[in-house]
Amino acid sequence: MIRKAIGVFSALVLVLTGAGWWQVYRAVGGITVSDALGALGVTAHSTGGAMNVLLIGLDSRKDQNGNDLPQELLDKLHAGDSDSGGYNTNTLILVHISPDDHVTAFSIPRDDYVDVTGIVPGNDNIKIKEAYGLTKAAAEDTLVNDGVGDQSTLESKGREAGRAATLKVVQRLTGVPIDYFAEINLAGFYDLADSLGGVQVCLNSAVSDDYSGAHFPAGNQTLDAEQAVEFVRQRHGLDNGDLDRTHRQQAFLVSVMRQLQDSGALADVGKLQSLIGVAHKDIVLSNGWGADQFRRVAELAGGHVEFQTLPVLRYDNVDGQAVNIIDPAAIKAEVSAAFSGDLPDFTALPTSTVDVINAGGTEGLAATVSDALRAKGFNIGDVRNATAADPTATTVDGGAGTGTDVHAVGTLLGIDSTPTPDDAVGAGHIRIVLGADYVPPGTVTAAGSTEAVSGSGPDTPDVPNPGKPIDNGQIPCVD
């Protein structure tokens, strides 16, 4: 659930911004501090004045000491009972602050299927959200076998092991070091939203979802704490499921930062004290936070922040679990380019024209695929069934001038693409051949429609849509 990392990022920005940051620095003694980065083997080593911060949203119905959250609060959060959720890190945001304080933030989808060999005991590949809870449980079992029976000790040491595992897995996935982290529990988001007295958001369309409790009209609106939880929790009924929920998370963060600048809330001493109380109760910081780190995080509210989502190749089902299949090499390349300042232009629409040929026996498949690509901004050319002169194997080929669009199409459809221009394909065109063996990331049930068979829950799209980056220039409207 994305709401917890919203709380982390927003709480840090809120309590560390402007006139308040030095007060928080003096108050750090009241915040829980973790040694997971150093003591458990994760080494921070960004160079040149850069700073990478991992924001962890913990999906636990427990407080910092392992005690159950009040059922009254869980009811407001639509979060079940105290045994629900486990210790999954259902939200992870990797924030990069460059030496000149430019900020890029990557959301890491919670169901990304990642390699955890040598990190999470007894596991090779799992959803990234599971690294914390599985490692915590394994560490506690070891301690119990060694004769440790104190629940407070088990909780503390188990969480430290879970944090360290999460940090290592994210470093392995992204290929960049983590210098600092901040973690917030489930109650933290509600407490934060409540302290703000309302947050403005914007929806492209009206929504109604009994699962999350989200029932909102289209357009701009101000949400109270309970409604804010519903807004960022909804994934059912959204075209892109968890990925759309991630976009809501990013939009919510943008709204919070704009409110800080526009309202002057941090000049209110009473509100500052309330926010510091949230930090003391709900936030864990890694060891090493100091005046400079607080100052740089504080400046995020007034500076330019760009939010992106790590790419997903396709949805799949592994051992009965819906997972996101990813390309770790592509993720490392994208993160490296963004963090080095060589930002790709994600806002530019594809310029190539895509021709889709159905060479298999599934009626309407070419139409379904072309519709999915059109929704991503591609120009669609011929959409037809194959003739005797056409290839029959599933391929994606590009003519001269198609550049990176070829790779983008192949990634979206889960098909290996040919990077070298094919003379048989016209300049500026991409040719997709859908052979008899091709099944898109979703099972086609009728012409022009799909029924998702895997992914991050109900209403999963046939093709993952990471969405365009969201920045803090204005409050964005989202699905």
Query: What does the pLDDT read at residue 442?
Result: 39
The answer to whether 102 touches 51, Cβ cutoff 8 Å, is: no
Query: What does the pLDDT read at residue 302?
Result: 54
Query: What does the pLDDT read at residue 455?
Result: 32
Query: pLDDT tens track of the chain, all 479 residues?
Result: 333 344 445 555 555 444 454 455 555 556 788 999 886 566 657 878 889 999 888 876 666 666 677 677 666 666 555 455 578 887 888 989 888 878 888 989 989 999 999 999 999 999 999 999 999 999 999 999 999 999 889 999 999 999 999 999 999 999 888 999 988 776 676 777 777 777 788 888 888 887 777 888 988 888 887 888 778 777 777 766 666 767 776 777 667 666 655 655 544 555 555 665 666 667 888 888 876 777 677 666 555 667 788 988 888 889 888 899 988 888 888 888 888 754 334 345 567 899 999 998 777 788 888 877 776 677 889 999 999 888 888 888 888 888 777 877 877 777 776 667 788 888 889 999 998 877 665 323 222 333 322 333 333 444 465 555 555 456 777 77
DSSP symbols for 278-326? HHHHHEEEETT--HHHHHHHHGGGTS-EEEEE----EEEEETTEEEEE-
Give tens-digit pLDDT for 361-413.
777 788 888 877 776 677 889 999 999 888 888 888 888 888 777 877 877 77
- Other Cβ atoms closer than 10 A to 227: 19
Note the residue count of the chain: 479
Q: Does CATH number 2.90.10.10 belong to domain 3-345+465-478?
A: no
Q: What is the dihedral of CA 412, 414, 418, 423, to 10 degrees?
A: -70
DSSP symbols for 390-435? S--S-EEEE-TT-TTHHHHHHHHHT--EE-SPPTTS-TTEEEEEE-
Cα dihedral sign, 433-439-444-449? negative
Backbone φ/ψ region at 459: left (φ over 0), alpha (ψ -120 to 50), beta: left
C-alpha distance from residue 62 to each of 120, 130, 222, 230, 324 (Å) = 22, 17, 29, 20, 28
Q: Which residues contact 476 (CB under 8 A, 6 or more apart)?
A: 202, 251, 254, 470
Please provide residue 355's backbone torsions phi and psi, each rounded to the nearest 5 degrees.
-105, 130
The answer to whether 450 touches 314, Cβ cutoff 8 Å, is: no
- Other Cβ atoms closer than 10 A to 368: 26
Backbone φ/ψ region at 147: left (φ over 0), alpha (ψ -120 to 50), beta: left
The answer to whether 214 touches 231, Cβ cutoff 8 Å, is: yes
Give tens-digit pLDDT for 139-148.
999 999 999 9
The answer to whether 318 touches 113, Cβ cutoff 8 Å, is: yes
- For the chain, which residues make up each domain, given as ranges? 3-345+465-478, 353-451
Which CATH number fits the domain 353-451, given the four candidates 3.40.50.2300, 2.60.40.3080, 3.40.250.10, 3.30.70.2390? 3.30.70.2390
Query: What does the pLDDT read at residue 146?
Result: 96
- Other Cβ atoms closer than 10 A to 54: 27
Query: What does the pLDDT read at residue 234?
Result: 72
Long-range contacts of residues 406-410, Cβ cutoff 8 Å, at least 24 apart: 406/352, 406/430, 408/350, 409/354, 409/373, 409/378
C-alpha distance from residue 326 to each of 112, 165, 287, 329 (Å) = 7, 20, 31, 9
- Other Cβ atoms closer than 10 A to 360: 20
Give tens-digit pLDDT for 168-208.
999 999 988 899 998 877 667 677 777 777 778 888 888 88
Q: Coil, helix or strand for 194?
A: helix
